[in-house]
Amino acid sequence: MRKIVIVTLIASAGVFAQPASLDVQFTLVASGFQFPEGPAWNGKALYVSNCYSDWVARIKDGALDTFVVRPTKPFDFGKTNGLAFASDGSLYACDYGVNAIVKFTRNGACSLVADSWNGVGFDRPNDLAFGADGSLYFSDPKSYSETADDGEVFRITPGGKVERAASGLHFPNGAAVSPDGTRLFLAESAMERVLVFPIGADGSLGDPSEFVSMPGGDPDGMAFDAAGNLYVAHFGGGAVWKIAPTGEPIGLLTTPGAKPSNVAFGGRDMKTLFVTEDETNAVYSVRMETAGAPLFK
């Protein structure tokens, strides 16, 4: 695939102005993590990576438990980051410890999904999102730099084939597919912005454009609500940005720490927004008026 050329949209001055803080109250869900990331809700519980450790946590009915600790057989996974549930209940993970995409069954058994493309190993899989057709898109950053555009996005087709979907990116990070399944949203952290890619009928990605600029920190993990608003963790900015479908920031959900890393909707009515936060090494929640987008495309 050709190297991408970013098409930057001409935005109004309001897009680059600091959004106002929204009146919300965060609640501590659980603490004691080692750089929590990748929250994923499966309809019953929240699963969370510990990036600087070797276990995946499960939080159910307010109780913190361990879903899986690094096994030795049949597959030895390393350190997980982004997590996403498939419609069959299996949990997919970006594993930067072994530079691979791995999959966990409901009972925690781990298997390798992919660790290379055209014979070349991945650099550091970061975050992932399922498309409407079952394709799995994941970011694979390398250098964190405004000048080094060596980051990539890969796609694992429903048939299991690995394809490079985009290249020429400056530390691609959080990813989410729009509720209608037609666009992939991607945090380009080193450029402090979120990009949007059209998704073709065959699952391929078209040329990206800038969706929103987020100065003052790194846009990281993200999630949609059912109305199409995008919630983006602003790592270093101390907030989650709520962004309208037009790309206009609606406001900030100021977090208890300065390093929110990712977000996920969950709860019985899907109106609880969970946030992983890495300054306090904790998971927080906040109630929203609009429910999150459906769990599975």
Least confident of 18-22, 89-93, 266-270, 273-277: 18-22
Per-residue CA distances from 123 to 42, 118, 120, 194 (Å): 28, 14, 9, 21
pLDDT-derived band at 70 (thresholds 50, 70, 90) equals confident
Picking from 83, 102, 93, the residue whose alpha carbon sits closest to that of residue 41 is 83
User: Looking at the predicted structure, is the pLDDT value of residue 242 above 50?
Assistant: yes
What tens digit of pLDDT does each residue of 112-146 get?
999 999 999 999 999 999 999 999 999 999 999 99
Task: Provide the pLDDT confidence category of residue 34 given band limits of 50, 70 and 90.
Answer: very high
User: Which pLDDT belongs to residue 78?
Assistant: 81
Tens-place pLDDT, residues 149-176: 999 999 999 999 999 999 999 999 999 9
Average the pLDDT over 213-240 and give the result.
97
Greatest alpha-carbon pair distance for the chain in Å reads 55
As a whole number of angstroms, the distance between CA 132 and CA 212 comes to 23
* Domains located in the chain, CATH noted: 22-287 (2.120.10.30)
Alpha-carbon distance of 80 to 92, in angstroms, equals: 10
Identify the pLDDT of residue 31: 96
